[in-house]
């Protein structure tokens, strides 16, 4: 997987969270490889990619970070729990990051289509993402820690 592709996904994630929601980010440790079931966190938004690149990238949160980000997106610091509205907000965040990523990949010469985001929780059980090996990038933010996992290959 090309570093420039992973960097576009990170740049899009940083841009959306910083510019739209004033959430500051920084990388928190070295990237590691994980298998598809290790890539799932308590709350995970999965975005599939087809076209010149095939695979997916995931935004994985612990429950606290997921709720904190939903609170920021919903404009309510006292929002009580990660209910359907909060999950919808996190899925929309995936859409926003995915759209900006798609534009960035196009600038690199990769023309891709994104699937609508799928949000899963670990309480839903184990799922197979279909991407056997992914790169997991740990991120610290003002809303809490999370990961971006990328598993793409050129088609």
CB crowding 43-58: b at 16 or more within 10 Å, else e? bbbbbbbeebbbbbbb
Separation CA 99–CA 104 (nearest Å): 9
Mean pLDDT, consecutive 10-residue stretches, the chain (155 aa), reads 90 95 92 84 93 94 96 96 95 96 94 93 64 87 95 89
Residues 6+ apart with CB under 8 A from 62: 41, 42, 43, 144, 145, 146
* Nearest CA-CA partner of 44 in 112, 105, 103, 125: 125
What pTM did the predictor assign? 0.91
pLDDT in tens, 64-89: 999 999 999 999 999 999 999 999 99
| Domain ranges (residues) in the chain | 3-154
The domain over range 3-154 is classified in CATH as 3.40.1550.10 = yes
């Amino acid at each position: 997987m090309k570093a420039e592709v992973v960097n576009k996904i990170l740049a899009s994630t940083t841009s959306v969270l910083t510019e739209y929601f004033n959430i500051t980010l920084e990388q928190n440790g070295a990237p590691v490889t994980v298998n598809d079931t290790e890539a799932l966190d308590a709350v995970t938004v999965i975005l599939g990619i087809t076209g010149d690149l095939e695979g997916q990238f995931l935004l994985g949160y612990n429950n606290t970070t997921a709720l904190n980000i939903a609170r920021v997106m919903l404009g309510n610091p006292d929002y009580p729990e990660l209910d359907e509205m909060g999950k919808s907000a996190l899925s929309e965040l995936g859409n926003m990051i995915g759209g900006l990523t798609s534009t960035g990949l196009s600038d690199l010469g990769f023309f891709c289509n994104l699937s609508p985001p799928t949000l899963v929780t670990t309480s839903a059980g184990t799922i197979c993402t279909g991407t056997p090996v992914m790169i997991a990038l740990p991120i610290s933010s003002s809303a809490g820690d999370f990961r971006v996992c990328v598993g793409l290959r050129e088609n």
